Amino acid sequence: MVGLGGITYMSWREAQASLALLSIGGIAFFVARSAHFQRTLRERNSLLESEVLQRTEAERESRRLNQELLASNQELEAFAYSVAHDLRAPLRHVNGFALLLQKEMREKASPKALHQLEVIQSSAHRMGHLIDDLLTYSRLGRADLHKVAVPLTTLLEQVRLDLTEEEADRRVEWHIGPLPTVTGDPTLLRLALQNLISNALKFTRHRDPAILEVGGRPEGGITFYIKDNGTGFDMRYLDKLFKPFQRLHPQEDYEGTGIGLANVQRVLARHGGQAWAEGQLGQGATFFFHIPSEDPESTPPPLCDAPIQGKALPCQES
Amino acid sequence: MPGILRRILLVEDSSADAELTHEALLEYAVANGVDWVKDGAEALDFLFCRGAFEGRIFEPPAVILLDLKLPKIDGLEVLRTIRTTPHLRAIPVVVLTSSQEEKDLIHGYSHGANAYVVKPVDGAEFIKAVGSLGVFWAMVNAPPPALSPEAT
């Protein structure tokens, strides 16, 4: 390698060789890379294909499970209904014949025996109420919905009129805010309002005056609330509140079978909404419900008939 | 129609319910007398004077108290037969059942029941319901004139 020219020449040759090598290497490299890419692509594709297959399979399985769940739920409802229905006849006989026996023995039996007959009758009477409540609860889950525009203010006034007539001798202060019109089944919604208002009146029985505040807010539908200054409840037992036949007070203090709020929850679930509550023992309680708007654009909320744990929120927020 | 009281036909498979019904009618001084049959087939035999009731002289009951869930032939079928038989079709029929199912109510009325009474689960309420419906249908209500099977 002498002289510039030589260098140049060698360099040229070297460059040529290098270029050739480089080209070969490059091609080899690209070929290798391309093969690698193709392999990866194939692998990815087949992975994707199997994922799609798996997903389709999973979707099919989930649809099947959903259908099974629906069927077994319906079966369970039908079973509960027929059990409750069939229990009525023997119960009527217990109650009816205890009554006849009591009449028969009025002059002859001891006061103790008459008392025992009394207990049989009142227990059968109570069981009758439980069964009828169970039937109503079951019916609420199965009844067809007939949805129309329901002005809540009018519905509330009707319910209030019915319920306060029996409580004419009490002082009840009402604060009622404006309420919207909702789309729903008027019979079911009336039942929900009836339960919430009669509860509020029941648990403010020892307040003078009872103060009841009712209002609503538009929140992707409507959120309704009724607040009272009554007995309230311990938030620790919130999860029991909306379950059927769960009660937080002894029968002697506040009568009832414990189905009311479970019915409210069921009515709301049938409307794609939910009911929940806040309260403090001795400080009153507030009961809420939410009915989502019927906008076809919005995604339908999940059905939340499940028991609520802790501070429950409307379904669509969870 | 003064004179002889027409009898009540009770179609009821439960003997306890039948006894309670008797007591209720007694309590409400319904003195019409009760014929009791235990299933739908027997009810039709009674009304058509056939089978075990062969030779019975036909007299239309003041009212038929009809249970729906019955052995052999069910209550709706009995009701349908009564309503499609000329000499029976005018007889008042009161459905007396445990069923509160909407479809039973609809079928009961569409098959021509004059009333539909759900048996109360409470004994005292049962006696009141059955007693007062006995008073109304057997004593207050004027029954349709009797038609003999041959006349129609």
List of residues 6+ apart from B116 with CB closer than 8 A: B94, B95, B97, B105, B108, B109
b (16+ CB within 10 A) / e for A189-220 = bbbbbbbbbbbbbbbbeebeebbbbbebeeee
Mutant choice from A91, A92, A133 vs B, greatest count of B C-beta within 10 A: A92
Residue of A nearest to B97 (CA): A89
CA atoms within 13 A on the CB side of A201: 21
Check if CATH label 1.20.1730.10 holds for domain B8-140.
Answer: no
Instruction: Return d(Cα A113, Cα A110) in angstroms, integer.
Output: 5
* Chain B environment of A125 (Cβ under 8 Å): 122
- Could B17 and A92 be called an inter-chain contact, meaning their C-beta atoms sit closer than 8 Å? yes
Interval A66-121: pLDDT, tens:
888 888 877 877 777 777 778 888 999 999 999 999 999 999 999 999 999 999 99
Most A CBs within 10 Å, among B12, B27, B121, to test the A interface: B121
Beta carbons of A125 and B122 less than 8 Å apart: yes
Average pLDDT of chain A to the nearest whole number: 82
Return the residue in A83, A95, A139 with the most chain B beta carbons within 10 A, the one to mutate for interface testing.
A95
| Shortest CA gap A134–chain B (Å) | 13
Q: Cβ contact (<8 Å) for A97 and B127?
A: no
Nearest partner of A249 among A267, A265, A264, A261, judged by Cα: A261
From the CA of B50, how many Å to the nearest CA of chain A? Answer: 31
Nearest-angstrom CA–CA distance, A269 and A249: 25
What does the pLDDT read at residue A23? 67
- Nearest chain B alpha carbon to A128: B121
- Closest of A112, A194, A182 to residue A156, by C-alpha: A194
The reply to whether B51 touches chain A by the CB within 8 Å rule is: no
Residue B69 with chain A: CB contacts under 8 Å? none
Q: Is A95 close to B123, i.e. CB distance below 8 A?
A: yes
A304 pLDDT tier (thresholds 50, 70, 90): very low
For residue B105, the Cα-to-chain-centroid distance in whole angstroms is 16
> What average pLDDT does this structure show over A41-47?
88
A124 touches chain B (CB under 8 A): yes
Distance from CA of B19 to the nearest CA of A (A): 9
How does pLDDT run across B85-126, given as a tens digit for each residue?
999 999 999 999 988 788 889 999 999 999 999 998 888 899
Choose the closest CB to A99 out of B99, B119, B123: B123
Asked if B34 and B28 touch (Cβ cutoff 8 Å), the reply is no
Residue A184: strand pairing partners: A148
Lowest-confidence region among A60-64, A123-127, A305-309: A305-309
Q: Which residue of B has its CA nearest to A100?
A: B23
User: Cα separation of B108 and A242, whole Å?
Assistant: 36
Helix A260-270 with A111-142: angle, nearest 10 deg: 10
Predicted confidence band at A307 (pLDDT cuts at 50, 70, 90)? very low
Please determine, for residue A310, whether its predicted confidence score (pLDDT) is greater than 60. no
Q: Which residue of A has its CA nearest to B99?
A: A85
Domain ranges in chain B? 8-140
CB contact under 8 A, A96 and B100: no
Do A135 and B16 make contact, defined as CB atoms within 8 angstroms? Answer: no
Count H helices and E strands in chain A, helices first: 6, 7
**pLDDT-derived band of residue A134, with 50, 70 and 90 as boundaries?**
confident
Buried b (16+ CB within 10 A) or exposed e, A44-62: eeeeeeeeeeeeeeeeeee
CA A277-A283-A287 angle, 5° bins: 20
Q: What are phi and psi of A260, to 5 degrees?
A: -55, -55
Q: Does B129 touch chain A (CB under 8 A)?
A: no
Using DSSP bridges, classify how beta strands A221-228 and A284-292 pair: parallel, antiparallel or unpaired: antiparallel
List, for residues B42-100, the tens digit of each pLDDT value.
Answer: 999 999 999 999 999 999 999 999 999 898 899 999 999 999 999 999 999 999 998 87
Cα-based angle A263, A268, A269 (whole degrees, multiple of 5): 95
| Sign of the torsion formed by the C-alpha atoms of A154, A155, A160 and A166 | positive
Q: Which residues contact A95 (CB under 8 A, 6 or more apart)?
A: A120, A121, A124, A125, A128, B121, B122, B123, B124
Q: How close, in Å, is residue A100 to chain B by CA atoms?
A: 8
Q: b or e along A238-249 (b: 16 or more beta carbons within 10 Å of the residue's beta carbon)?
A: bebbbebeebbe
| Residue B120 tokens, joined | 């109360």
Q: Is A93 on the interface with B (CB under 8 A)?
A: yes
